[in-house]
Amino acid sequence: MLKIEYLLTLIEIPSLKVRIRSIAGTTDTGISSLPDLLDWAKYTCGTAMPVLPLSELERAYNKALRIIEDSQKQGIVILSPYTGPFPQVLARIPAPPLVLYAKGNIRLLDRAEAVAVIGTTEPSPAAQDQGKALTTAIALNGFCIVSGLARGCDTIAHETCLEYNSPTIAVLAHGLDYCYPAQNRPLARAIVEKQGLLVSEYRPGIRPRPGYFVVRDRLQSGLSRAVCVIETGVSGGTMYTVRFAEKQGRMIGCIDSQAEGNRLLIDGKRALPLGSPQSIYAFIEAIKTGTERPAARSLWGFA
């Protein structure tokens, strides 16, 4: 295992970006200095190793130490599959995060019972009611709810969990010292205060960018056994998460409504329709068993 300060040092060197996994994944605890780290990087990369003076490594190392110090001051824990304990559910997804910053109840990352509840930032009144009912049913059946702290459906999911004192994880597309949207800052604080968790693969100080939201969407599905869609159009962040869920082999459920994205998912048999309480509880039982049982599929009318 590599020391976290050395991993963060490698991450802060742009020319090593595409080689970090090979360097970090093959190293051992014998590295105890920057010259050792540089020698190991040269050994691992061979002729592909970019020119990297020790001074550049020192600059990156000093920045890594500041990141660690800033994180500790804010109660943020830094996790990585290359430096120590890391949630296996994330370690197994394609392109797992190099680093995960976490604030709050990190024990939630060890829970196998998690379901992502996601959807549009502008849900219809009917979808708001349906989303709360769906989240309530899933949460009261012992699942941790994962979402993205966005306006609309994400907010409904997190707030419902807090109302019922159920665990929730918010996956953010920026550093944990920031909150987007700003209106959800009180919600973020409440999640931490009520034994929930905020996570991000972006260090403190990083502000959100459009591409970061797509990148984080793979973590929402990656942390979860299943993904539930409240309401969505045919494009946008929800559909990115659905596609990641499909690649990761996660179960997908979708509120049975006339929203264009919902119809696309249900009619295309990419998601199981969640319309009646009976179908929702059948879906929950299917998540618990880890299979889409024939009885459940026939209930929904799937072949």
- Structure-block tokens of residue 293: 């049982």
Residue 20: inside a domain, yes or no? yes
* Residue 238 sits in the same domain as residue 287: yes
* Residue 113 sits in the same domain as residue 66: no
User: How many angstroms separate the CA atoms of 69 and 78, rounded?
Assistant: 11
* Residue 114 sits in the same domain as residue 60: no
* Residue 232 sits in the same domain as residue 157: yes
Residue 142: inside a domain, yes or no? yes
Is the alpha carbon torsion for 70, 75, 76, 80 positive or negative? positive
Q: Residue 113: how many CB atoms within 10 A of its CB?
A: 14
pLDDT in tens for each of the 303 residues of the chain? 789 999 999 999 988 888 888 888 876 657 889 999 888 888 888 877 788 888 999 999 999 999 999 999 999 999 999 888 899 999 999 989 999 999 999 999 987 789 999 999 999 999 999 999 999 999 999 999 999 999 999 999 999 999 999 999 999 999 999 999 999 999 999 999 999 999 999 999 999 999 999 999 999 999 999 999 999 999 989 999 999 999 999 999 999 999 999 999 999 999 999 999 999 999 999 998 876 543 344 344 443
Q: What is the pLDDT of residue 27?
A: 62
CATH number at residue 290: 3.40.50.450
* Residue 154 sits in the same domain as residue 10: no
Q: What is the pLDDT of residue 85?
A: 86
Residue 90: inside a domain, yes or no? no
Residue 221: inside a domain, yes or no? yes
Residue 88: inside a domain, yes or no? no
* Residue 120 sits in the same domain as residue 47: no
| Sheet containing 77-79, strands listed edge to edge, beginning at the edge strand earlier in sequence | 77-79, 100-104, 197-200, 168-171, 144-147, 114-118, 226-229, 251-255, 272-274
* Residue 69 sits in the same domain as residue 126: no
Residue 111: inside a domain, yes or no? yes
Residue 79: inside a domain, yes or no? no
Residue 99: inside a domain, yes or no? no
Q: What is the pLDDT of residue 175?
A: 98
* Residue 54 sits in the same domain as residue 145: no
- Structure-block tokens of residue 157: 């999911």
* Residue 64 sits in the same domain as residue 139: no
* Residue 231 sits in the same domain as residue 124: yes
What domain range includes position 112? 104-300
The total number of structural domains in the chain stands at 2
* Residue 126 sits in the same domain as residue 275: yes
* Residue 154 sits in the same domain as residue 202: yes
